[in-house]
Amino acid sequence: MVACGGGSSSSSDSDLSSLNSLSDLPDNSTMVATSSGSSSVSADIATAVSGTPALFTALTPEPHFFEDGFLASVAAQSGSVSEADQNEFWVGEGKCQTIQGAGQTFALISNMGMTLCMMQGAPSTGIFTLSSGTLDDPLTIFDQQADDRHIKVAGVTEGGQGGSQDIYFKVYGTNSVANQYKFDVWFCSQGETNPRGLESVTVDKTTGAITQTSEHNEDQFNATISFSGKIANSGGTFVYDPTADKTLTLLNSGSWDGNTNLFNVQMTVSDGTLSLKAKDSHVQQSQTNTNKVYIISTYTGTELSNVRFLTAAFKTSGGGGTETWSAEGGMEWNDTDTNGPMYASNVIMDIVNTVSALDFSTDSFLSTSPEAPAVDLTDVSCSVTADIEVTMTQTQEAMLAMQALQQSCNDFDDPNFDLCWGDSEINAAKQAIFASQGGPP
């Protein structure tokens, strides 16, 4: 989805007729904005939360999920961790992973729009050099015309992969789509004949509905993502309608060194409340491990960078071989906790009851096994003839402008996406508990 933008319009608040360019689409990070900038939560949640939660981007395992010094104390007891400390650890890790899972869901939104954000901002930086075709004003390169327009951006560096890629756009003309702004973008590594990714965005100018699909085939990893929401004209600026639900579905698969993994997500964001269902299966050395989770979390924020999670409830189950496990719980931010400001356990909130009541065995999503994505890139080509072709200007000034643009688009690329799973102190404490009892309860 698009991550930079929010074009202006002088039309009425309900009018989207002037939305006709990539630059008009709203800043993707505002997709999570609530109607009042705060969560529309029930009375029990408002009562439970004490104080203002820390920003998600500022959370740390200690003290926000564990008392300061607790993890090191557990790690030092390797082989003889007390039952009380074991239980306290699993409760803290459950809370940490729940908040991390909610944050990672928002990461899907941000990461989806990286390339499109770059293309929104690139025309105004002067980093494009026209190679072929006619373009009187670089700022209009992605504007909708009467006829379809194909655009090729050649020689774009592939992030983290080395080498270069060509990015193709098809902006559908008004002769092809009525009352819509629609475009496709696909990615071709230079020297390759087949695309490795395709993203499509459609905005219905009558209803405001926006849909996006994304398909990627990246060596050993495949993924499809679909998103739907609604755009409104707010005082002359196109924004995501905070009162309309946004939904996202992800299917992901990967294989490496004899391992295979399937991961599916179903998410709804509804004016300050995130509902998340996820399931995965991992096959390693002929053993299959499965996990399923349901999370409801409430939050405040106007954009991804200032999200604060207020409360959360989770229910999870999984297993591998002959072992199975399950857990559920709830938490709220508490400034007055005896161990300092942290997420404290709370199992009497309405959202805890809602999560606990869900039967995984009958739920339409969680009752089934994870699906592999079906990536189909046959409708696009790396040899299409472009109406306009531009290259990236290779001057130092242009490169600095590109780096600055990339940084601004990367507004939610935060290490807290790995808040718990990659933390060395959590992992050391977990190994000490494994040495004491052989695994989680």
Q: Does 352 or 113 have the greater pLDDT score?
A: 352
Q: Both tokens of residue 371?
A: 């699906």
Query: Average pLDDT, stretch 260-274?
Result: 91
53, 110, 241, 314, 411 from 35: Cα distances, Å: 19, 20, 8, 25, 21
- DSSP single-letter state for residue 8: B
Query: Average pLDDT, stretch 199-207?
Result: 93
Lowest-pLDDT range of 20-24, 273-277, 385-389? 20-24
Average pLDDT, the chain: 83
Is the model's pLDDT at 189 over the cut of 90?
Answer: no
* Alpha carbon of residue 290 to chain centroid: 22
Is the model's pLDDT at 81 over the cut of 80?
Answer: yes
**Structure confidence at residue 34 as a pLDDT band (50, 70, 90):** confident
**Structure confidence at residue 282 as a pLDDT band (50, 70, 90):** confident
Q: Tell me, what's the pLDDT at 4?
A: 54
Query: Average pLDDT, stretch 162-185?
Result: 89
Lowest-pLDDT range of 4-8, 27-31, 200-204, 345-349? 4-8
Q: Does 411 or 199 have the greater pLDDT score?
A: 199
Handedness of CA 105, 110, 113, 114 (dihedral sign): negative
- Residue of 351, 398, 375 whose CA lies nearest to 129: 398
Query: Average pLDDT, stretch 172-195?
Result: 90
Could you give the percent of the chain with pLDDT greater than 70? 87
Q: For 253-293, where are the alpha helices, taking DSSP H only?
A: none
Is the model's pLDDT at 180 over the cut of 90?
Answer: yes
User: In this structure, how many other beta carbons lie within 10 angstroms of the beta carbon of residue 236?
Assistant: 14
Q: Tell me, what's the pLDDT at 103?
A: 85
Contact by Cβ (8 Å): 300, 40: no
Write the pLDDT tens digit of every residue in 7-21: 544 444 568 888 888
Query: Average pLDDT, stretch 355-363?
Result: 94
